[in-house]
Amino acid sequence: MFTRLLLSVIGFASVILSTQNDGDIYVWGGGSEGQLGLGEETECPKPTLLDTADRVICISCGYYHTAFVTDQGEVFTFGESDGGKLGLGDESVKAQEPIKVDLPEKAKEVACGGSHTVVLAKSGKVYTFGDGSNGQLGHGNKILQSASPVPLHLSQKVAHVACGENHTALVTDKGQLFTFGDGRHGKLALGQDSFSNQLFPVKVDRFTRFLVEKVSCGGCHMIVTAHMKMQNGHIESSEEEEEENEALTQSLRPDGSMDLGGSVGARNRRRQESMKRTPSLNRTLPALTHNAKDLESLSATHPPTDHKSQKSKSPAVPARKIPPVKSKRGNIYWSL
């Protein structure tokens, strides 16, 4: 009977893993690509113990692949190897049981995306491998795929990592959030005008006044836990940040419920801002009277004129007559 305390349960696609207080791993679900780690076992309807030599401290599931970290700082992966997401040096390797990943240092955390994997070392350094066609590896366009772990060049130490299907998030030891990869739906939190893919880690300025603790990524969204920074026992505040928060507070009703009408899309927000900046070309038309000729111009592009005081600068030119042209039908006159 499954009675021991579960520390965490993680599922993605067709496999579920759980760790217990003694570091054991239980797996169940579909294992057609070896993601259960049970060898030839392709279907497991009940939680089944996965045999490991050491205590497991971190687990993660990707799309048909699995990874875990032991208390010895070693990383093991198994399942589908497409794109090199197992980090075993050869994407053609078939791993139906846990295989150790060759890393230059000890690890403490691992996160699996749909087709990539991210490892956090105890030193605070990050390693990524697998498919990076959307920028989720964080190495720019020089490395868009790797079957072996590649260190990520970041000036700060990282304390926590997370992966979505095609994007990655990092939390530094200073509580800053960095995101990169697939930017669709605004899931990288880089602002309403930045929905494009990011090939390098980019700091999320939205959390400037916050210390981010944890982050979790879905396929098209992300969620974080954070708390406000304190200065001399008081919450830090700035006019800039208050202006940035205005869009968020506008979507909150006084009773605390959400007003989805206030959360317009990026394109609509840009259109509204553009309309505010553009002066109106329309003016209210007054009632027409017999003195309508004295009204100033209603055109926003033509200056108003005063018909009473305006005088012609050039004298009137009298009509010039052309001598009559005789014809059989009579004289014909033209005047200019």
**Encoding tokens for residue 127?**
């390693």
**Residue 150 counted as domain residue:** yes
Please give the residue that has the higher pLDDT: either 327 or 247: 327
83: nearest Cα among 60, 67, 56, 65: 65
The better pLDDT of the pair 326, 214 is held by 214
Give the bridge partners for 119, in sequence order.
110, 127
Q: What is the DSSP string of 293-304?
A: GGSPP--SSS--
pTM for the model stands at 0.69
User: Which CATH number characterizes residue 30's domain?
Assistant: 2.130.10.30
Position with higher pLDDT, 4 vs 272: 272
Per-residue pLDDT, 333? 43
pLDDT above 50 for 125: yes
Res. 213 pLDDT band, cuts 50 70 90: very high
Domain tally for the chain?
A: 1
**Is 253 contained in some domain?**
no
The verdict on residue 61 lying in a domain is yes
Q: Is 30 inside any structural domain?
A: yes
Instruction: Report if residue 162 sits inside a domain.
Output: yes
Q: Is residue 52 part of a domain?
A: yes
Whether 11 maps to a domain, the answer reads: yes
Q: Which domain holds residue 57?
A: 6-171
